[in-house]
Structures are given as C-alpha cells and as structure tokens.
Amino acid sequence: MQSATVGFVSLGCPKNLVDSERILTQLRAEGYRIAASYEAA
C-alpha cells in the first residue's frame, strides 16, 4: 500500500513556520510523504 502524500504551504509569521514544522514532523512520523511542490501533492 502506498503512503498518502500531502502538500503544505505555510504563510505568515515565524510562529506559524514553527507550527508548520511541528505538523510536518508529526505527519512524517505517521507515515505520510511530504510533497516538494504543489504539483506533486
């Protein structure tokens, strides 16, 4: 079975970027693949 792929765009202040990184880390830990571009998601 293939892993789900997600795309993520973070806009805003540095706090938002920190939150985005935490979310991405959790998604990776749960087996999601993170797309490098909008088109790849």
Q: Indicate whether 14 belongs to any domain.
A: yes
Give me the domain span that covers residue 21. 5-34
Q: Alpha-carbon distance 8 to 24, whole Å? A: 8
Q: So what's the pLDDT on residue 3?
A: 83
* Domains in the chain, number: 1
1, burial (CB in 10 Å: exposed 0-12, middle 13-18, buried 19+)? exposed
Q: For tokens 């088109």, what's the residue?
A: 39
Q: Would you give the DSSP letter of residue 40?
A: T
pLDDT in tens, 1-41: 678 999 988 888 999 999 999 999 999 999 999 998 888 88
**pTM of the model as a whole:** 0.76
Q: Indicate whether 27 belongs to any domain.
A: yes
Q: Indicate whether 40 belongs to any domain.
A: no
